[in-house]
Chain A
């Protein structure tokens, strides 16, 4: 190897070329402000279109009007009243559906007989749009809260069963064989390996079921409730108060965002080993 290479060496009469870089692209770069800028631009266009008369404020009120309606909801107390009702229904329905779904999902994931019985039943019930059962639940449980809890719980139950069962299937079998080879008892294997190993899949299922619970609570409240964000949005629509309607929709969006954030925090805390 020579001490220094010529600046423009000639090799067999051909000048040496620098190697062209070809490795760019196909990598994800962080643009933290892009989403915020796009969101602000969208709001600006919407506001501008409304102010310039390009969109009817009756059918598409500007963001400023939606913001004023939201502020009004805060000051007159209707936001908290409706939010409390919706969150309560989601909490009770989701917890009931999740607990039941995890119990059945665990049984199906662990016991062959439970799986043989459960898979056809879950396959048969899972595709039913759960809101279609609300009238039946109203007949069974009355127009009050229990029918809404049942609708949400039933809607959450089946995806939880599937997520839990799949999560158990995805626990690496080599870990279970390792535990068996060291003579760990069945319960220890469940507690120390199957449950923590299935946790990522179960938490992923929570994300799906939280969205389902949000959809179902709105639908159930639109069918038969005095309070709740769904009932509030429906009433605003009936009164042609589109700014209030969109404020309700904004609240629903923020609810979804808040639930997603809580689940992300939970994942970060419980799955820090990944």
Chain B
């Protein structure tokens, strides 16, 4: 499934958050979106997922919805968004409840999602009994249960410690190797973008405009190898240069306001 964003603008009252965004996300591609705080990254994701109505412009998807897909565009949230009163299993079941599925398929989807994330033994636990990393894994299992065609990830690792982030990045890589799901990945962490994305979209300070689109040539599976490090370091330097300039200008504007 492909995502096409055309001349997208979004305003909250008099505040323009996004201005004239044009981008196309190819099938199976992972596009990371980075930019200074307040540049409209999460708003862009909300609009792409249909939970924020854009002020102007259009968002379209193209392509076939795969068999068994119950929610083509699916979010993974920064704060996990788990229902604290439901067990792990019931949190995953929530997103299947309104679909007329046979009981066996429902069970199979829940079990596959939880086993895939190594959470089957914890299916009866409440979210409060889990670590941050495990909670995000429940969020991922919930997303996988609907077999999405496209994932929208809103800083999914930013609430986690460095070690858990590394482990979950491995999980994401394995997921993408297996499922080839198209993904729009919002982050402020350059290392995540460099590890996971095919391209990185750098947004300017508010109002967010596309400052630059950077392609990471190195294939994802080789990015941990020593031979890839020179290229990745160069890309990182380029991204940081762009980010730093925007963040500094944003800070100066805040100080003047």
CB distance from B138 to the nearest CB of A (A): 12
Chain B residues lying within 8 Å of A182, measured Cβ to Cβ, are: 71, 74-75, 94-95, 142, 146
Query: Interface stretch among A15-23, A128-136, A172-180?
Result: A172-180
Asked if A184 and B94 sit within 8 Å, CB to CB, the answer is yes
Query: In A167-190, which residues have CB < 8 Å from any B CB?
Result: 174-175, 177-185, 188
How many positions in chain A have a CB within 8 Å of any CB in the partner chain?
Answer: 20
Asked if B77 and A178 sit within 8 Å, CB to CB, the answer is yes
CB distance from A196 to the nearest CB of B (A): 5
- A178's nearest neighbour on chain B, judged by CB, is B81
How many angstroms from the CA of A236 to the CA of B75 in the assembled complex?
Answer: 67
How many angstroms from the CA of A184 to the CA of B126 in the assembled complex?
Answer: 21
Q: Is B98 an interface residue (CB 8 A)?
A: yes
CB distance from B190 to the nearest CB of A (A): 26
Asked if A273 and B84 sit within 8 Å, CB to CB, the answer is yes
Query: In B83-112, which residues have CB < 8 Å from any A CB?
Result: 83-86, 94-95, 97-98
Q: Is B128 an interface residue (CB 8 A)?
A: yes
CB distance from B57 to the nearest CB of A (A): 20
Q: Is B79 an interface residue (CB 8 A)?
A: yes
Chain A residues lying within 8 Å of B142, measured Cβ to Cβ, are: 182
Asked if A183 and B97 sit within 8 Å, CB to CB, the answer is no
Knowing A181-B74, A273-B126, the reply to whether A188 touches B81 (Cβ < 8 A) is: no
The A interface is mostly helix, strand or loop, or mixed, namely helix
Asked if A178 and B75 sit within 8 Å, CB to CB, the answer is yes
Query: In A187-220, which residues have CB < 8 Å from any B CB?
Result: 188, 192-193, 196-197, 199
Q: Is B49 an interface residue (CB 8 A)?
A: yes
CB distance from A178 to the nearest CB of B (A): 4
Asked if A274 and B94 sit within 8 Å, CB to CB, the answer is no
How many angstroms from the CA of A184 to the CA of B95 in the assembled complex?
Answer: 7
How many angstroms from the CA of A184 to the CA of B94 in the assembled complex?
Answer: 9
Q: Is B51 an interface residue (CB 8 A)?
A: yes
Over the window 47-58 of chain B, the binary record of Cβ atoms lying under 8 Å from chain A Cβ atoms (1 yes, 0 no) is 001110000000
The B interface is mostly helix, strand or loop, or mixed, namely loop
Over the window 35-73 of chain B, the binary record of Cβ atoms lying under 8 Å from chain A Cβ atoms (1 yes, 0 no) is 000000000001001110000000000000000001101
CB distance from A201 to the nearest CB of B (A): 14
Chain A residues lying within 8 Å of B146, measured Cβ to Cβ, are: 182
Knowing A178-B75, A181-B49, A181-B75, the reply to whether A273 touches B85 (Cβ < 8 A) is: yes
CB distance from A114 to the nearest CB of B (A): 23
How many positions in chain B have a CB within 8 Å of any CB in the partner chain?
Answer: 24
Chain A residues lying within 8 Å of B126, measured Cβ to Cβ, are: 273
Over the window 238-274 of chain A, the binary record of Cβ atoms lying under 8 Å from chain B Cβ atoms (1 yes, 0 no) is 0000000000000000000000000000000001011
Chain B residues lying within 8 Å of A199, measured Cβ to Cβ, are: 85
- B143's nearest neighbour on chain A, judged by CB, is A182
Chain B CB count within 10 A is highest, among A174, A180, A181, A271, for A181
CB distance from A62 to the nearest CB of B (A): 50
Query: In A43-78, which residues have CB < 8 Å from any B CB?
Result: none
Chain A residues lying within 8 Å of B70, measured Cβ to Cβ, are: 183
- A188's nearest neighbour on chain B, judged by CB, is B98
CB distance from B52 to the nearest CB of A (A): 9
Asked if B74 and A192 sit within 8 Å, CB to CB, the answer is no
Chain B CB count within 10 A is highest, among A175, A178, A188, A271, for A178
Chain A residues lying within 8 Å of B97, measured Cβ to Cβ, are: 184, 188, 192
Chain B residues lying within 8 Å of A184, measured Cβ to Cβ, are: 94-95, 97-98
CB distance from B145 to the nearest CB of A (A): 9
Contact of A174 among B71, B73, B79, B95 (CB under 8 A): B79
Chain A residues lying within 8 Å of B95, measured Cβ to Cβ, are: 182, 184
CB distance from A101 to the nearest CB of B (A): 23
How many angstroms from the CA of A90 to the CA of B70 in the assembled complex?
Answer: 50
- A187's nearest neighbour on chain B, judged by CB, is B98
Asked if B81 and A177 sit within 8 Å, CB to CB, the answer is yes
How many angstroms from the CA of A18 to the CA of B40 in the assembled complex?
Answer: 53
Asked if A174 and B74 sit within 8 Å, CB to CB, the answer is no
Chain A residues lying within 8 Å of B81, measured Cβ to Cβ, are: 174-175, 177-178
Can you pick out 10 interface pairs between chain A and chain B where the beta carbons lie within 8 Å of each other? A175-B81, A175-B83, A181-B75, A182-B95, A183-B98, A184-B97, A184-B98, A185-B98, A199-B85, A273-B84
Give me 16 other A-B pairs in contact (C-beta within 8 A), A175-B81, A181-B71, A273-B85 excluded.
A174-B77, A177-B46, A181-B49, A181-B50, A181-B75, A183-B70, A183-B98, A184-B94, A184-B97, A196-B85, A199-B85, A271-B85, A273-B86, A273-B126, A273-B128, A274-B84
Give the 6 A-B residue pairs with the shortest CB-CB distance, closest first: A178-B81, A273-B85, A182-B95, A181-B75, A196-B85, A174-B81
